[in-house]
Each structure stands twice: as structure tokens, then as C-alpha cells.
Amino acid sequence: MVFTKDLLEKIDMLEGTGQQFVDQLLTFSAEGRSINARDFHRWRVNVSKFLLLSLGPSNYYYECFWKGVTRPELDHLQEGLRLLATVKSELETVFLQERPFPGRDREAVEEILPPEL
């Protein structure tokens, strides 16, 4: 897999959309409303597709996102944003240090991610 700056820009875009949902949810929850489930699921599919195509189907980050971010609720959105931030951080490290991306090595990933994932 060749990592380019385009991958980081795509993550920024996906993070921005996810953060908009978090902001909306925080505002809406005070009013007893929720975010649009269709929009959430579109975002979820876009992130999943990005992770799948960029990192592969057996990638730990992809698996965690697909299994852990399933509902348009605050904790699910925050988990998705944490995963995207971790992937972005790892990609930036790969660019700076030119070392292998640990996302394919479960043990290396577990050292980076918090234990609840």
C-alpha cells in the first residue's frame, strides 16, 4: 500500500463530517432530537469503505470501526473519530519516519489504541 497525502486529506474530510454529527447531536439532545440516521449511515459506509480500500479487510482499524460504530449515538461517533484520529496519526508517522504501517499488525495496533477498543 502506497500512502499519499490524499489519504490524510480524506481522513480530515471524514473527521470533519463526524465532528459535525457530534456537534449536532450535542445540540439536538438538549431538544430531544437526534441526528439523521440516513446521513450517519452514509458517513459510516464512507469511512468503512475508505478504511477497507486503504488498509484492507483484515485491518484492525477497519474491523474496530465496522463492529464498533453502528448507531448514530454520541459514544459511537466518538469511537469512530478516535479510530480515524489514530489512523491519521499512524499515517503521519509513516510519512515522517518511512516505517511500515502497523495497522496490519494487531499487536502493534493494540499498543497504540486504548484497551476498550
First-last CA distance in the chain: 24
pLDDT tens-digit map of 3-55: 567 888 999 999 999 999 999 998 887 777 788 899 999 999 999 999 999 88
Identify the three-state secondary structure at position 33: coil
**What is the percentage of the chain residues whose pLDDT exceeds 70?**
77
Residues 6+ apart with CB under 8 A from 64: 83, 113, 117
